[in-house]
Structure 1
């Protein structure tokens, strides 16, 4: 993987360095290497450009489907025109800390729809993700989502407590959580995450930008505004 990345960087360097890096017989690797050694400040820019290009290719593979939520699994304005997609896990501490940023973004923009994709990657979190989908089906997703993150670990007691706090019909919720439909939705989200190249949670899509990690309010706001943030 590292070899492929360096090869791609080398190819990208040609475009940055210009025609002077080419010989009559093709790419002059020695001259390219020398130029890069003499101008190392371009490497971070090249790496960022390469990552953006690769992200766009992956995003095109998932298409618009990734931004279409499981019915009800949204925060903010369900009819909002500006969309932030968040891949999250209730056992993820970084996801929990990012909840403040998401709440702040929603408060600042009444046209923001936050599509939550339940990506249960931590041990013990799948039951919480399944119950979250059950809450979405009952129109109580936001209440369950908030109670789940406020309640600590997503163990059986925590999931039941959050479900009661959200006012779920427990019999209906338990039946749906155990259903093939819930399993299929979790599998679908996992496939989206793998296609996008996410290594963990949280993961984000904002205005065509694929972002990984707890990057904070400013970075997410900049992406939603269609700009890059340092």
Structure 2
């Protein structure tokens, strides 16, 4: 069977669930005779060409299924905030998780979107997971941020450090002083938390920031407000 036909069967399987899987399984090489395989290839090819809008729909469903599998039994680890590293409603019915780096310009640009989401949704909880992958200063900032979280000053520190511009030892120290954070009081488990976040990111296939996890979806990169709202609504309906 050609790769194109096989892809088509996979896409149909993603769209039509058990019925599509039934077709795909029985269209595998060796299960059908040459004439039957040719007929299946033609049917799938014609259908996909006649309905090209199904391809992005199918790819989205496949991605959602892969994300749900990856999240799997780690959901509690992903959605449980490190001490005070949370905004919005701490007891909200939906959790939006952001894996972020303080040196990430797209993460900084996403902060107003997060504010809008929280303002519009009183049942939303936003959990922040440190993922310092862009520079050594990112790790220093992550440690200071975890110290702020442990001292129940995460939101103020988080917003102030982004507002301070490019991350450096000076901006970290100035932000800590401005927000009343004792950055020298580094929690004993700070490096363990960072290592755990890096491990979770690897398991989820996260290679950049920001990355969002909500419900069964993993969204990479800065996202528009409407797309995050849609993902939150879908998670709420799970």
Answer yes or no: same fold by TM over 0.5.
yes
For residue 48 of structure 1, report the CA deviation from its aligned partner: 1.3
Cα distance in 2 for residues equivalent to 1:185 and 1:38? 50
Report the counterpart of residue 13 of structure 1 in structure 2.
12
Taking structure 1 as reference, are residues 201 and 25 closer, same or farther at Cα in structure 2, changes over 3 Å only? same
Q: TM-score, normalised by structure 1?
A: 0.83
CA distance in 2, matches of 1:152, 1:120: 16
Cα distance, 1:117–1:14 mapped onto 2, change above 3 Å: closer
- The answer to whether the Cα contact below 8 Å between 2:9 and 2:23 also exists between their aligned partners in 1 is no
The 3-state SS of whatever aligns with 1:139 is coil
Q: Could you say if the C-alpha distance between residues 11 and 207 of structure 1 is closer, same or farther in structure 2, counting changes exceeding 3 Å?
A: closer
In structure 1, C-alpha distance between the alignment counterparts of 2:118 and 2:60, rounded to whole Å:
28
Matched, 1:205 2:213: yes
Write out per-residue CA displacement over residues 110-168 of structure 1, whole angstroms, 9 at most, x where no aligned residue.
Answer: 22221100111111211001100000111111111011110011110111111111101
Q: Secondary structure at the match of 1:43?
A: helix
Q: Are residue 72 (structure 1) and residue 84 (structure 2) matched?
A: yes
- Tell me if structure 1 keeps the 8 A contact 2:14–2:62: no
Runs of 5+ unmatched residues, structure 1: none
User: Within the alignment, does 1:81 sit opposite 2:93 as a pair?
Assistant: yes
What's the CA shift string for 1:4-24, capped at 9, x where partnerless? Answer: 9x9666423356586888667
User: 2:15 touches 2:61 (CA, 8 Å); kept in 1?
Assistant: no
Question: Please, what is the CA RMSD of the aligned residues?
Answer: 2.9
For 2:89 and 2:179, how far apart are their aligned partners in 1?
Answer: 19
Name the stretch that deviates more: 29-38 or 61-70: 29-38
SS at match of 1:226: helix
Q: 1:67 to 1:16 in 2, by over 3 A?
A: closer
Residue 33 of structure 1 and its aligned partner are, at CA, apart by 6.1
Q: Does the aligned pair in 2 maintain the 1:61–1:195 contact within 8 Å?
A: no
Q: How does 1:30-179 map to 2 (within 5 A)?
A: 30-31=41-42, 34-35=45-46, 36-37=48-49, 39-123=51-135, 124-169=137-182, 173-176=183-186, 179=188
Corresponding residue of 2:222: 214
The structure whose Rg is larger is 2
Structure 2 regions of 5+ residues with no counterpart? none
Count, aligned residues: 220
Output the CA distance in 2 between the equivalents of 1:41 and 1:104. 32
Given the two structures, how large is their TM-score scaled by the length of structure 2? 0.81
